[in-house]
Amino acid sequence: MSRRSKIYEGKAKILYEGPEPGTLIQYFKDDATAFNAQKRATLQGKGVLNNVISEHVFTQLDAIGIPTHFLRRLSMREQLVRAVEIIPVEVVVRNVAAGSICKRLGLEEGTALPRAIVEYYYKDDALGDPMISEEHITAFGWAQDFELDEIIHMALRVNDFLCGMFAAIGIRLVDFKLEFGRFYTEEHMQIVLADEISPDGCRLWDMKTNEKLDKDRFRRDMGGEIEAYQEVARRLGVLPSADIRDIADGDGRKKRKV
Ligand code: UDP
């Protein structure tokens, strides 16, 4: 990996220059952060699980006509994606109250929302990703009106599809975060789904037991993060057969089993 030039390093992923112009390699790290990176840890195997879970979800979304940046998985920790211009807005879709909406509106965790609710947060770590409205997005030019219309439409379609996909494996999709980008060809520009969809950015509860199968286990010091992510991968039918804790990390070193 070190021979490739690094374009950007985020909290959980690294972007490297891709093999062809207009492509990037998205590398999934084992690093976990929460509360605007005030809490950090390494969860061995998380990158592998998020890579295969996100590959599966993006492939399924592509099959129903949602355009995405995903091209193909390259290895246990890498995927080839289209280079896109990221729109600096995190789009959150909620079906059930959890996390920040509970604090903000005084709702009890687990309350079903009257309908799916879309929220926006400005992607800025220094500001702690503040919540914003559609007005901020268009007034500050982060996205134009027609782009925002497409984003909302796509976010709700993704929600409908993923609610069904997870329900089929006994999981409630409580909420999740999406990111979008602009993909330019010579003739036109297309809004595409970017980033990843994995238990790092979704709340996933077992439908029978309400057990949390997502990053809240890390945020709340519950433990069992990897087992929970593995359970999601297993139910989706994408759990790698190799011991994920033994798959090489970013430096090509083998990680010890824990
Ligand atoms: N989320 C995310 N990245 C962020 C903030 C939130 O992926 O920077 C996801 C989070 O995992 C959850 C959803 O977006 O599935 C809604 O998060 P919420 O606003 O409740 O914030 P949190 O409780 O994570 O602070």
195-247 pLDDT, tens digit each = 999 999 999 999 999 999 999 999 999 999 999 999 999 999 999 987 777 77
pLDDT at 139: 98
**Side-chain-side CA neighbours of residue 196 (13 Å):** 30
Q: Which atom of ligand 1 is nearest to the CA of 214?
A: 11
Pocket test of ligand 1: the residue of 177, 197, 232 to mutate, having most ligand atoms within 8 Å of its CB, is 177
The model's pTM: 0.95
Whether the CA torsion 135, 150, 173, 9 is positive or negative: it is negative
pLDDT in tens, 46-61: 999 999 999 999 999 9
* Rounded Cα–Cα distance for residues 115 and 97 (Å): 11
Which amino acid makes up residue 77? R
Ligand 1 neighbour 99 (Cβ under 6 A): yes
Residue with tokens 């219309």: 149
What's the mean pLDDT in 109-130?
A: 98
Q: Rounded mean pLDDT of 81-98?
A: 98
Q: Which residue minimizes the CA distance to atom 10 of ligand 1?
A: 201
Closest by CA to 95, choosing from 171, 197, 169, 194, is 171
pLDDT of residue 97: 98
Residue whose CA is closest, atom 25 of ligand 1?
Answer: 100
Question: What's residue 244's pLDDT?
Answer: 78
